[in-house]
Amino acid sequence: PTTFQMEVYSDLTGERGVLMGALAGMMEAQYAELRRHGHTPSEAFNETVEELTQSLIRLVGENGMDWMYANCSATAQRGALDWRHKFRKAVEPVFAELYNSVATGKETEIVLRVNSAPNYKELLNEELKEMRESEMWQAGAAVRALRPEKRNK
What own/partner pairs with CB < 8 Å and gap ≥ 24 does 7-15 have? Answer: 8/102, 9/99, 9/102, 9/103, 12/102, 12/107, 13/95, 13/98, 13/99, 13/102
**pLDDT attached to residue 150:** 77
Distance between CA atoms of 125 and 118, rounded to whole angstroms? 13
What pLDDT tens digit does each residue of the chain (153 aa) get?
Answer: 889 999 999 999 999 999 999 999 999 999 999 999 999 999 999 999 999 999 999 999 999 999 999 999 999 999 999 999 999 999 999 999 999 999 999 999 999 999 999 999 999 999 999 999 999 999 999 999 998 887 776
Give pTM, 2 decimals: 0.90
Spell 49-84 as b/e; 16+ CB within 10 A means b. bbebeeeeeeeeeeeeeeebeeeeeeeeeeeeeeee
**pLDDT attached to residue 151:** 75
DSSP state of 3: -
**pLDDT attached to residue 59:** 97
Distance between CA atoms of 118 and 120, rounded to whole angstroms? 6
**pLDDT attached to residue 118:** 97
The CA radius of gyration of the chain, in Å to the nearest whole number, is 18
**pLDDT attached to residue 149:** 83
Domains of the chain: 4-151 (1.10.1040.10)
